[in-house]
Homo-oligomer: A and B are copies of this chain.
Amino acid sequence: MSWPPSSPCPEVLSAPTPITLAAAIPDGASLALAPDYSGCSLVTIRELIRRRARGLRLIGLPQLGLQADLLIGAGCVATIETAAICLGEAGIAPAFERARRAGEVQIIESTCPAIHAGLTAAEKGISHLPLAGVIGSDLVDLRPDWRIADDPFATGQLLLVPAIRPDILLCHAALADNAGNLWIGVRRELMLAAHASRRTLATVEEVVDHDLLADDVWAAGTIPALYVDGIAEAPNGAAPVGLRGRYPSDRARLHAYAEAARTAEGFNRFLNAWLGDG
């Protein structure tokens, strides 16, 4: 072992914007994304589409929504691993459905607790986590990478789920501070994903001047800068989906998207209008 070793942590991006965040997500990266209710950086998704990202491997936390559907429709996605994909009350994800029928996206079917378990294994630096339940579902047959083993401490069998180590977590949150600490409140799946991912990139509604770790009331909901590689201020950065405690989702726009995107032409019209927006 050489001394000192090269640092295992990637460089923090300096002065990030949604454009530089998107540029830090290479083609082919595995990219963890939150469902529509848990901190989506649509403003960075737009830049990923503008730069014509390709071959992304999306991981739902544990589901996927609008972010995934837009990326899939724009041709940025190779695979998705998720417990579900939908647009909430707007239903089926239309671009995904079209890509699925055309065989343009590979689906790695999962279930919410298996994704949490895989991320937890990565968080703890172990190869896998045992998971209760699930055995008895046909889902197990769709996952040759999962294993069923005798429980070494009890009668019965356990499902063993391998670690999930995303290259990048991309999310949107309410606040960050100047030191790079990211406040996510009770959206703790983002903290789990940040621990499990090699890099975390985020946009926030606002960067505040006070140290989020200085007061335990704030610190309790904060991902320390240690895990965060780039933060860009982007007010309203989750729109048209909502941000808990800040703004609701734009239901009219989501329904308009769900309607328009039923055809490739409609999707492209919506996309072009959106790309022209900001």
Binding site for B on A (CB under 8 A): 117, 120, 124-132, 147, 149, 151-154, 158, 160, 162-163, 185-186, 188, 216-221, 244-245
Contact = CB atoms under 8 A, between A and B. Distances in A.
Which of A117, A130, A153, A220 is packed against the most chain B CB atoms within 10 Å? A220
Contact of A132 (B126, B162, B218): B126
B149 A127 contact: no
Contact of A219 (B120, B128, B153, B185): B185
Nearest to A155: B127
B127 A185 contact: no
Contacts of A152: 127-128, 147, 149, 160
28 contacts: A120-B120, A124-B129, A124-B132, A125-B132, A126-B129, A126-B131, A126-B132, A126-B158, A127-B130, A127-B154, A128-B153, A129-B129, A129-B130, A130-B130, A147-B152, A147-B153, A149-B152, A153-B160, A153-B162, A153-B163, A185-B216, A185-B217, A185-B219, A185-B220, A186-B219, A186-B220, A188-B220, A220-B220
Contacts of A245: 216
Q: Could you say how many copies of this chain the assembly holds?
A: 2
Which of A117, A127, A129, A218 is packed against the most chain B CB atoms within 10 Å? A127
Contacts of A125: 132
Contacts of A185: 216-217, 219-220
A127 B129 CA distance: 11
7 closest Cβ contacts across the A-B interface? Answer: A220-B221, A185-B216, A127-B153, A220-B220, A126-B130, A127-B154, A125-B132
